[in-house]
Amino acid sequence: MSFTESNLLDIVALVWFLVCWIGYGVYSSRKSKSVPSLSNTLDLYRADWMSRFLMRENRIADASVVGNLERNGAFFASSSLLIIAGILTALGYTDKALELFSDIPFAHLNSRMMWEIKLSVMMVVFVYAFFKFTWAMRQYNFCAVLIGSAPLASESKVSPRAREAFAQSAAQVANHAGDAFNLGLRSYYYALAVLSWFVHPVLFMVISTAVVVILHHREFESRALKALRAGKVFEDEGAGQS
């Protein structure tokens, strides 16, 4: 039998995983343009943040917040590197791993090549996560530079229009950083789905689907989103009454 015929179920599972990962990414990006989501709601809060920090003379708290966000990205980026190193090590112990998994009940038997493909797919997921987290770190670093270079509230020579343009630019950088961090976190969810592939490809497809359902619920229907949106509605109503 050819490689495709002998591993058809695994190939189907991999294709379904890619459809879930790429398809949900495109779907959530488009839906966020017309429907409230965590992503576009946080964009509103970041825009408010960047507008209001320009009114303060002391920006220590703002710089501290950006530093904390950058450290979060650094933690996940370093964790991704450690996991990648572990996967590279596991590639050298394929025979022992296959022997171990052959004793697990209901586990799908893999050829050596298929096992190495699965490890490679997991490594690609974490490489993608590493690039997203490091890009988020750099963009938060850009935010720190913007905060340091922002005009002071007491500078009368800076026009309101220039302040607004600066705030919008800083908010866009912060939004891009937050989006990159979010995509990195999603990769960890998908990596857990890939982990189930080592047990059975059908389980892999089920977990991949479950990950999409969980991500959709948290992005568009979670209680956290409702709380964040309630804060913006209250703020907007207060502005209208004033």
Q: What are the pLDDT digits (tens) for 98-118? A: 666 666 665 666 677 888 899
Q: CA quadruple 111, 112, 118, 124: dihedral positive or negative?
A: negative
pLDDT category of residue 144 using cuts at 50, 70 and 90? very high
Q: Is residue 238 part of a domain?
A: no
Give CA angle at 172 (166, 173), nearest 5°. Answer: 95
Number of H helices, E strands in the chain: 9, 0
Model confidence over 29-72: pLDDT tens digits? 999 999 999 999 999 999 999 999 999 888 899 999 999 999 99
Concatenated DSSP letters of 162-226: HHHHHHHHHHHHHHHHHHHHHHHHHHHHHHHHHHHHTT-HHHHHHHHHHHHHHHHHHHHT-HHHH
- Asked if pLDDT for residue 24 goes beyond 90, the answer is yes
Return the residue matching tokens 């995509």.
183
* pLDDT bucket at 7, cuts 50 / 70 / 90: confident
Domain membership flag for residue 139? yes
**Confidence label for 3 from pLDDT (cuts 50, 70 and 90):** low
Q: Specify burial of residue 180 (Cβ count, 10 A radius: 0-12, 13-18, 19+).
A: buried
Q: Is residue 198 part of a domain?
A: no
Is residue 118 within 8 Å of residue 197, measured between CB atoms? yes
**Residue (of 14, 5, 49, 61) closest to 173 by Cα position:** 49
Look at residue 97 in the predicted model and tell me its pLDDT: 65
Q: What is the mean pLDDT of residues 191-210?
A: 93
The mean pLDDT value of the chain amounts to 89
- Is residue 239 assigned to a domain? no
Stretch 204-233: mean pLDDT: 93
CA dihedral 194, 199, 200, 202 (to 10 degrees): -60
In a domain, 208, yes or no: no
Confidence tier at 157 by pLDDT (50, 70, 90): confident
Dmax (CA) for the chain in angstroms is: 78
233 falls within a domain: no
Q: For the chain, how many structural domains are there in total?
A: 1
**107 domain residue, yes or no:** yes
Does the structure show a pLDDT above 80 at 22? yes
Q: Does 234 score more than 80 pLDDT? A: no
Q: Tell me, yes or no, whether 4 lies in a domain.
A: no
For 159, the domain range is: 37-190
- pLDDT for position 155: 84
pTM, two decimals, is 0.89
Q: Residue 96's pLDDT band (boundaries 50, 70, 90)? A: confident
